[in-house]
Structure 1
Amino acid sequence: MYADRHAQPTRFNPGGLTAAIAINAGLVAALMFAGPTILPGDPVRILETTNIPIDQPPPEPPTPQPRTEEVVANRPTETIVAPNPIVPTPSTSDLVTTTTIVPTPPLTPIIGSDPGPVVIATPAPLPPLPPLIAPQVDPRYASAFQPTYPPAERRANRDGRVTVRVLVGIDGRVKQIERVTATSDAFWQVTQDRALRSWRFKPATRGDVPVEAWRTMSLTFRMEDAG
């Protein structure tokens, strides 16, 4: 190796050393102030507990027992009397009574206002009804009034008689027939059939007005007439 001839010898610089020391001191101080502050620890405390007495819950109310007739009967009856409210009554001195006397009219009748005695009009009597003219046999049908002789009565050679009541309508026809007497049912039956079918009358009238009316008819059955 060859030494550098041109190299200059190193010189000691006191100012640089001082600067380096100051920088290190500042760093150390910064670290000291930046670290956490450690306080002295508190003394250990012991937790003491005390039992506090708890109030007992109130007892449950007794279960209501069903009422019996005996208990209800012995239970006293309560009567509540409400006091009557006191209403102030005004004294008689506060009341003022006013009496008005109305004059009585004279008892003498006023001229022109007396209606006179009450007269009840008697209704006029109804006019009498016209007389009733009973129905008459129509001569045009007189030959048709005699019924046919019943064959059973003819064979028995028996006479007969029938009395009936007939209701004659306003048209002269028989509307209804009633049996009064009859020698036999056979005589009655032939009379009924002939009356309803063939008998004709002049209707009854009352004041020239045709009306319905009853008439009694009697018929005689003879064997000599039937032959």
Structure 2
Amino acid sequence: MYADRFAQPRKFSPSSLAIAVALNGAVMAGLILSVPAFKKKIDDVLIIKTIPIDQPPPPQPIEQPRPKIAQHPAPTPPIDRVEPLVETPRTPTYVLPPLPPVDPGIGNAVDRIIDPPAKPPVTIDATIDQRYARDFQPAYPAGEQRLGNEGKVVIRVLVGTDGRVKQVERVSAPSEAFWQTTERQALTRWRFRPATRDGVPVEAWRTMTVRFEMTS
């Protein structure tokens, strides 16, 4: 039954259309009347005037203080002094007379003046002081004696002005034992008569030879 009710087509109603149009018109009129009226305010017109400005006077130049110039008196021109002329005394010149002719047989006079030649100094070498002659032979080294070795030691000694040996130099030695015992003996026991120069004692070197031989 409900299906048939809604299935029927609707019919157009002119009264309904008129009512709808009237309602719409009333709504539009109300909206127009409700809009507030706006008054346009005209702002005052801004008038710009050009006012001439007096130009400032040009700047006046500032006068700088002038530096003070020291006034110096004009220099007095030097007065030329005339020195008195002093005459330098002249040294008299002497002319030597000519030398007399030289006899070729005699020779020049200058050559005849000859100083006597200096005498060579008198030197005497150092010699063994015989009072100490027995002390010149050093002791036989025990090791060399036990091996039966013999040898000869040559040394140079510096004899002082007091006759003692001041320094010993080794020239040759067959072994170190022979050299050491000879050096020790020379420095401690040897005595000499010092060398002299024109009678004055002086230091002098002397070469000495020491022999080590086995006695039978």
TM-score between both structures, scaled by the size of structure 2: 0.50
Q: TM-score, normalised by structure 1?
A: 0.48
